[in-house]
Chains A and B, each alone.
Chain A
Amino acid sequence: MIYLLPLTISLILGLLIIKTALNNKVPGALLTFFLSGIIGLGSSAILTFSSFVIFNQLSAVWVIALHLGIITALGWYLKQKNQLCSLPLLKTLTWQDGAAFTILAAICIPTIIHASLYPYGGWDAWGTWNMKARFLFLGGTSWSNMFDPMLWRDQINYPFLLPLMHVWLWCFGSAPTPLVPLIMTCLITFLSAGVLFGILKEITGKFYMVLIPACLFTNLAVAIQASSQYSDLLVATFLLTALGLFALFNLTKNAGYLILMGATLGMMGFTKAEGMGLLAITGIASSILIMTTFKDICKNALIKLWSATIAAAIPLLLFVFIYAPRKVVVFKNGLTAPDHPLTWDRFSYFMSFMGHDLINNRWQGLWILPVIALMVAGRKSLNQTVRLFPVVLLANICFSLSMFYINTHYDIVWWMNTSFERVALDILPALFCWATLALFQE
């Protein structure tokens, strides 16, 4: 129960950031709630990291005080503008919102059951993410030992937003209990489903959009991935949130959404290596779209987007330039490496694996359905509101697939079998969001 306290603090922090960025012109109550959750948790992780940068160790007192200080400052700022009270937002809640909230909680049941079967998560949970969290929490001034080359099996070159989220919750307890990563993985599933529903409901106005996350998160393959305590669903949630916020910016012209989008992108980059790639792709693509579509507010919009992105990406920059181990070889360019050249076998295995996997029974048509919907929607799938979705998703698919093919450091059979499903999950919620908006947006 003690962990409800940091979660509530993160939620309040997220809400205040959203209200400040949007100048109190927040979207619907449920979407605001779910955005507050994801942005608040990401912000808490970044604030927790500040303790390691300033004191070279975890100082729970500092982290909690920093949270309370920022909440007080934002609250004071909003009070000055007479925007602190959230009662008007609560008054917009309807029975449909209550029903949707209940359904969203219910669709997490498969994830919760599977997570409770494996309370320590999957291989990368104890081998990478939760182990890093234990280094951060227990390591004192030796926390950076988690980058020691001897731990080369444990993805030491990956950023660590998810472990910092765990550490934030552990600040309120005395030991690094495995209950926290278990709670977090279920919570991220709930937030991901909620953001997907919230964006669709906000743009289409249809209550039955709750079926979209329901279809996605009741799937057993997705539930197993979601419950594994990995960072992939977190990347997927940040990507979905960023693209959804850009769609809302397109509709409202409120550049405040770009501040939130930038913050989300910065957090996504600090989550995982794939997140760094998505940060670059989404940042560049959205900037180009802003410059070509919104010429009148282009300068203001770009400043807001990039200042927020850079601010939220400070931990990523510190990690890349200061902390990340230098001598870890995880990339071999098959185009130039004579000892690991690209082969036809690698290409044919890679293509056949991908083709078979995406239509595999375990996905129950989750990849086929949105693709057909996009084909049926035709030109509407490229309209202005959703234009960023295809650009980012296609660029990411090309980038990821070329990495799988060109990086011959890893055996393709092992790599595809262990990683392809996770990389695919990164884009699945955003793909569903895009397909549904293409069909339903007026």
Chain B
Amino acid sequence: MQELNNKQIIRFVFIAIVGALTAFNGFQSTTKLVSLYPRQHPKSAAFAGKKFEGIQKILAGNKYIAYYTDQNLDNPGPLMELQQAQYTLAPVILDPDSLDHRFILINCVDVSKAIARMKEIGAKPLTANNMGIILAERPQVTP
């Protein structure tokens, strides 16, 4: 009988702790997330991958295209943009290490650097958007 009581007490204490933790967790999580919602919501819309939308059709049929940026890809921000561009443009594969492809996706903070680079490699802009993304082509290079 004594053992049964001890067992029941232990179970009761365990469930009471779990219940209290649930109430605390639920309240804390919900209030924190709800308070974040109005401030964070615009951030979710600013998915960098969206900058690269609209050029998928032009790139259809290409396996690789070059990706050029004037930022250091060892830093999380520029790397994130590359990864999100890759997500958006899949199944085309972005090559950030070589410009030796027919199409070059240029994502530069400094537009003058983008123009200089295009001149240097003989590429012509094919299309661009108001978020600083340029798709350039080197007609002399076969895919």
Residues of A participating in the B interface, judged by any CB pair closer than 8 Å = 107, 109-110, 113-114, 116-120, 123, 126-127, 130-131, 134-135, 138-140, 142-143, 145-146, 148, 150-151, 153-154, 208, 211-212, 214-215, 218-220, 223, 364-366, 369, 373, 376, 436, 439-440
Contacts and interface: CB of A to CB of B under 8 A. Distances in A.
Given A109-B30, A119-B44, A139-B91, A127 B21 contact: no
A131 B90 contact: yes
A138 B40 contact: no
Contact of A145 (B14, B22, B47, B91): B91
B113 interface: no
A150 B64 contact: yes
A208 B15 contact: yes
Which 7 pairs from chain A and chain B are nearest by CB?
A139-B91, A110-B29, A218-B25, A218-B26, A126-B87, A134-B90, A113-B33
A113 B37 contact: yes
B34 interface: yes
A146 B87 CA distance: 11
Contacts of B28: 220
A335 B21 CA distance: 43
Given A150-B64, A218-B26, A219-B29, A373 B87 contact: no
B18 A369 contact: yes
Interface stretch (B78-86, B103-111, B129-137): B78-86
| Most chain B CB within a 10 A radius of its CB, from A140, A146, A439 | A439
A117 B93 contact: no
B119 interface: no
Nearest to B16: A211
Contacts of B10: 376, 439
A275 B134 CA distance: 41
Interface in B23-44: 24-26, 28-30, 32-34, 36-37, 40-41, 43-44
B93 A145 contact: yes
Contacts of B95: 150
25 contacts: A107-B22, A109-B30, A110-B26, A110-B29, A116-B44, A117-B43, A126-B83, A127-B86, A127-B87, A131-B90, A134-B91, A135-B90, A138-B90, A139-B90, A140-B91, A142-B63, A145-B91, A154-B83, A215-B19, A215-B25, A218-B26, A220-B28, A373-B14, A376-B10, A376-B14
Interface in B45-88: 47, 49, 63-64, 79-80, 83-84, 86-87
A265 to B, nearest CB: 29
Given A215-B25, A219-B25, A153 B37 contact: no
B86 A154 contact: yes
B80 A131 contact: no
B117 interface: no
B11 A369 contact: no
B47 A120 contact: yes
Contacts of B22: 107, 211, 214-215, 218
Contacts of A150: 64, 93, 95
Nearest to A220: B29
B18 A110 contact: no
Nearest to B86: A131
B18 A143 contact: no
B17 interface: yes
Given A117-B41, A151-B93, A211 B19 contact: yes
Contacts of A440: 11
Contacts of A212: 18
Contacts of A208: 15
A14 to B, nearest CB: 28
A120 B37 CA distance: 16
B83 A114 contact: no
Contacts of B43: 117
A228 B116 CA distance: 40
B44 A215 contact: no
Given A131-B87, A143-B91, A218-B22, 17 more contacts: A110-B26, A116-B44, A120-B84, A126-B84, A131-B83, A138-B90, A153-B83, A215-B19, A215-B22, A218-B29, A219-B25, A220-B29, A220-B33, A364-B25, A366-B21, A369-B17, A376-B10
Given A135-B90, A151-B93, A364 B83 contact: no
B33 to A, nearest CB: 4
Interface centre among B32, B33, B84 (most CB of A within 10 A): B33
Contacts of A135: 90-91
A139 B60 CA distance: 10
Given A110-B26, A138-B90, A145-B63, A220 B32 contact: yes
